[in-house]
């Protein structure tokens, strides 16, 4: 049952009088659930409960935290298809996507549980004492990663499950030993409450302290800002717009004690088309890209919003094919009227820039909240002069930049902002002549793709989902895969600490059998 209440720790609470509803974009009408926004007192209570829970939770063994994450996955499964129905009613996304995203969410939780059970992720590093060292003795030092403290997670509008309540950020923080307060996304608050109920059940079943998890509703900036400013909060995970992420990042920096804000924001994911590839297979590349640009109504952070090539017959064949292929795609529903309105506004702005030519634009009437896809083109010189054309148009949209030569192509890449991904489409052996292009692209992105599409983010340890600003606020970390846990820990050293009082990970006997670096050598042996 959806109550519309907040979870303050394991208690349902609705003390406020500000109520809002979510929206079904396919039916173009409000959903029936009344969601109550958290009051400042509820925000403060959730934060103080999280601070008390941290003292106990951060000391739990990897095994115990893993049992919690596994129980969360089981409880989400127990919600059954009702969860998918609510997800679809709040997002306009099809059931198949909902099912796939649920699978990904469960997979992420279980991957973190395995990571914790393995235990080596704490990066235990031990340098044993040398009492006889001259001219002064060497102390015994032992370092490992420890939890940062309570973390606030801002769920993403475009991933109601995999990047929201029990999504990647929440799973990573809980795995690290940090209590989590989710600032539920207002577009899918009921889906959020269902998932929150599963987390609370799992916490109670596995003996977690009250306050290890809270879920707060809001439809406006206040609750999120109160959370970021609360002194009990020690880090923030965010997925969404550049405007929102940057505002929260700036706010965190105004605190007496500034805290890290790990924001994953916009990206246009540049794709470079090399001439030989275009000469040999312009049509098939175009077909693949028509699919990638329109996948999920273009509502992916890895959507290919910028395609760059050098003027040639091959590039003209590509643009012609892309124009006709993109027109064949049936428009689909966007997540929310606000997202659809932002799409049409940003698309219009791009279309109205000087020097822009339209390759394809669907002008047919579509149902409310559906996105009509578009592809436009400009010369390299126009693109270089106009920063507006560098901005993300979140939706089924892409801009093709036609450069005069390789030098201009490199200049275009050198003038891009930071991106999540970059892609090179090349023929066999062609890439060898474009090492400087690869280098320019690599400097701008977190992940580089060869002959593929940027959409589709594999969840595995070697994935890097992040990149130089503004793709993310800290390019040293990934938001996807088990390494995302590193955002919510800090390295900590024990000096000359009694063996029996050390954490298990650092004891001489290595009771967990984890891989450690002992006196410079990687080993799982005892000391
Ligand atoms: P958003 O507007 O950035 O909101 C994300 C979350 O942050 C929401 O929970 C929102 O809560 C909160 N928030 C935003 N600005 C805030 C502020 N100044 N202070 C405190 N909290 C703030 O993103 P969205 O709702 O997901 O979508 C809006 C646009 O973001 C889209 O049209 C798209 O352009 C972009 N977007 C990009 C990506 C990507 O991966 N590149 C993904 C999703 C969205 P409240 O609304 O309750 O304040």
Q: Please write the tens of the pLDDT for every residue from 76-109.
A: 999 999 999 999 999 999 999 999 999 999 999 9
pLDDT in tens, 486-506: 999 999 999 999 999 999 999
Ligand 1 site, residue 347, Cβ cutoff 6 A: no
Asked whether the CA dihedral 460, 461, 463, 469 is positive or negative, the reply is positive
HSE of 358, CA atoms in CB hemisphere, 13 A: 14
Residue 247 has what pLDDT?
98
Please say whether the beta carbons of 418 and 469 come within 8 A: yes
DSSP-H helix ranges across 265-336: 275-294, 313-328
Q: Over range 509-522, report the average pLDDT.
A: 98
Mean pLDDT of 182-198: 98
Catalytic residue among 90, 264, 417, 440: 264
**In 14-124, at which residue ranges do the beta strands (DSSP E only) sit?**
19-20, 23-24, 29-30, 35-36
Round the CA-based radius of gyration of the chain to a whole number and report it: 25
| Torsion on CA atoms 232, 213, 260, 222, rounded to nearest 10 | -70
Structure token pair of residue 340 = 């659809």
User: Which pLDDT band, with edges at 50, 70 and 90, does 363 fall under?
Assistant: confident
Distance CA 288, CA 307 (A): 13
Mutate to test the pocket of ligand 1, among 152, 156, 157 (most ligand atoms within 8 A of CB): 157
What average pLDDT does the segment 358-377 reach?
95
| pLDDT tens by residue, 275-305 | 999 999 999 999 999 999 999 999 999 999 9
Average pLDDT of the segment spanning 149-159:
97
Q: Which two tokens stand for residue 217?
A: 């509703």
The two three-digit tokens of residue 242, written as one number: 């550049």
Ligand 1: distance of its center to the CA of 157 in Å? 7
pLDDT at 257: 98
Q: 3-state DSSP call for residue 81? A: helix
**What residues does 421 pair with on adjacent strands?**
447
Q: Is residue 403 annotated as part of the catalytic site, yes or no?
A: no
157 Cβ below 6 A of ligand 1? yes
| Ligand 1 site, residue 219, Cβ cutoff 6 A | yes
Residue 200 phi/psi, 5-degree rounding, is -65, -40
In whole angstroms, what is the distance from residue 137 CA to residue 129 CA? 8
Which pLDDT band, with edges at 50, 70 and 90, does 364 fall under? confident
Which atom of ligand 1 lies nearest, measured to the CA of 228? 20
237 Cβ below 6 A of ligand 1: no
pTM to 2 decimals? Answer: 0.97
Contact status, residue 172 vs residue 164, Cβ threshold 8 Å: no
Question: From the candidates 37, 42, 178, 301, which is the catalytic residue?
Answer: 301
- CATH 3.40.309.10 assigned to domain 270-450? The reply is yes
Ligand 1 pocket residue status of 394, Cβ below 6 Å: yes
Residues paired with 397 in a beta bridge? 374
Give the pLDDT confidence of 442-461 residue by residue, as tens digits: 999 999 999 999 999 999 99
CA-CA distance, 401 to 412, in Å (whole number)?
Answer: 9
Region 377-389: mean pLDDT is 98
**Alpha-carbon distance 334 to 89, whole Å?**
12
Q: Tell me the mean pLDDT in the region 514-521.
A: 98
Return the CATH class of domain 8-17+27-265+478-487: alpha beta
Ligand 1 atom, smallest distance to 338 CA: 32
Ligand 1 atom 19: the closest Cα is on which residue?
221
pLDDT tens-digit readout, 372-381? 999 999 999 9
Contact 216, 189 (CB under 8 A): no
Q: Alpha-carbon distance 251 to 259, whole Å?
A: 10
Q: What is the DSSP letter of 396?
A: S
Measured CA to CA, the distance from residue 217 to residue 212 in angstroms comes to 17
Cα 237 versus chain centre, distance? 9
309, 272 Cβ separation under 8 angstroms = yes
Q: Do domains 8-17+27-265+478-487 and 270-450 have the same CATH topology?
A: no
* CA 517 / ligand 1 centre spacing (Å): 41
The pLDDT of residue 266 is 84
Catalytic-residue membership of 333 = no
Residues 422 and 271: their CA atoms lie apart, in Å, by: 6
Residues 8-16 have a mean pLDDT of: 98
**3 state SS of 333:** strand
> Which pair of tokens denotes residue 105?
């969410």
Nearest CA to ligand 1 atom 29: 241
Is 183's C-beta closer than 6 angstroms to any atom of ligand 1?
yes
Domain boundaries, the chain: 8-17+27-265+478-487, 270-450
CA of 185 from ligand 1 middle (Å) equals: 8
Cα distances from 172 to residues 59, 112, 232, 234, in angstroms, run 16, 7, 19, 14
pLDDT tens for each residue of 17-54: 999 999 999 999 999 999 999 999 999 999 999 999 99
Q: Is the dihedral of CA 436, 441, 447, 448 positive or negative?
A: negative
Bridge partner list, 236 = 152, 261
* Angle at which helices 222-229 and 40-57 cross, to 10°: 40
pLDDT at 215 over 90: yes
Q: What is the mean pLDDT of the chain?
A: 97
The pLDDT score that the predictor gives to residue 1 is 87
Residue 130 DSSP class: B
Distance CA 398, CA 293 (A): 7
């Amino acid at each position: 049952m959806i109550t519309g209440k907040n979870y303050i720790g394991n208690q349902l609470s609705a003390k406020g009088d500000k109520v809002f509803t979510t929206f079904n974009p396919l039916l173009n009408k409000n959903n029936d659930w009344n969601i109550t926004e958290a009051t400042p007192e509820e925000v403060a209570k959730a934060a103080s409960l999280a601070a008390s829970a941290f003292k106990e939770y951060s000391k739990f063994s990897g095994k115990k935290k893993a049992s919690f994450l596994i129980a969360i996955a089981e409880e989400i499964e127990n919600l059954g298809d009702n969860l998918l129905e609510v997800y679809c009613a709040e997002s306009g996304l099809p059931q198949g996507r909902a099912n796939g995203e649920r699978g990904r969410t469960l997979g992420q939780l279980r991957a973190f549980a395995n990571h914790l059970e393995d235990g080596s992720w704490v990066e235990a590093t031990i340098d044993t004492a040398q009492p006889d060292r001259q001219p002064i003795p060497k102390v015994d030092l032992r370092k490992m990663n420890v939890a940062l403290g309570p973390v606030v997670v801002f769920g993403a509008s475009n991933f109601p499950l995999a990047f929201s309540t029990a999504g990647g950020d929440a799973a990573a923080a809980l795995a690290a030993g940090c209590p989590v307060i989710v600032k539920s996304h207002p577009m899918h608050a009921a889906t959020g409450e269902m998932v929150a109920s599963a987390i609370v059940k799992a916490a109670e079943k596995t003996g977690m302290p009250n306050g290890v998890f809270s879920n707060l509703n809001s439809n406006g900036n206040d609750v999120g800002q109160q959370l970021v400013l609360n002194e009990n909060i020690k880090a923030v995970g965010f997925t969404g717009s550049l405007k929102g992420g940057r505002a929260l990042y700036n706010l965190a920096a105004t605190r007496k004690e500034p805290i890290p804000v790990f924001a994953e924001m916009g990206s246009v994911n540049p794709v470079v088309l090399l001439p030989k590839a275009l000469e040999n297979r312009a049509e098939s590349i175009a077909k693949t890209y028509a699919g990638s640009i329109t996948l999920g109504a273009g509502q992916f952070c890895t959507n290919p919003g910028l395609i760059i090539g050098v003027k040639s017959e091959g590039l003209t064949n590509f643009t012609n094919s892309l124009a006709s292929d993109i027109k064949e795609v049936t428009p689909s529903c966007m997540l929310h009227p606000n997202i659809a309105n932002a799409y049409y506004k940003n698309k219009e702005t791009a279309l109205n820039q000087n020097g822009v030519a339209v390759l394809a634009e669907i002008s047919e009437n579509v149902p409310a909240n559906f996105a009509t896809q578009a592809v436009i083109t400009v010369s390299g010189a126009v693109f270089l002069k106009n920063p507006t054309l560098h901005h993300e148009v979140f939706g089924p949209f892409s801009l093709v930049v036609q450069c005069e030569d390789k030098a201009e192509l490199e200049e275009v890449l050198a003038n891009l902002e930071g991106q999540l991904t970059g892609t090179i489409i090349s023929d066999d052996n062609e890439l060898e002549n474009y090492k400087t292009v690869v280098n320019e692209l690599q400097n701008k992105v977190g992940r580089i793709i060869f002959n593929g599409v940027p959409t589709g983010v594999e969840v595995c340890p070697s994935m890097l989902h992040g990149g130089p600003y503004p793709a993310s606020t800290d390019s040293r970390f990934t938001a996807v895969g088990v390494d995302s846990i590193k955002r919510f820990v800090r390295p900590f050293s024990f000096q000359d600490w009694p063996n029996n009082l050390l954490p298990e990970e650092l004891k001489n006997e290595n009771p967990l059998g984890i891989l450690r670096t002992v006196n410079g050598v990687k080993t799982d042996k005892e000391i």
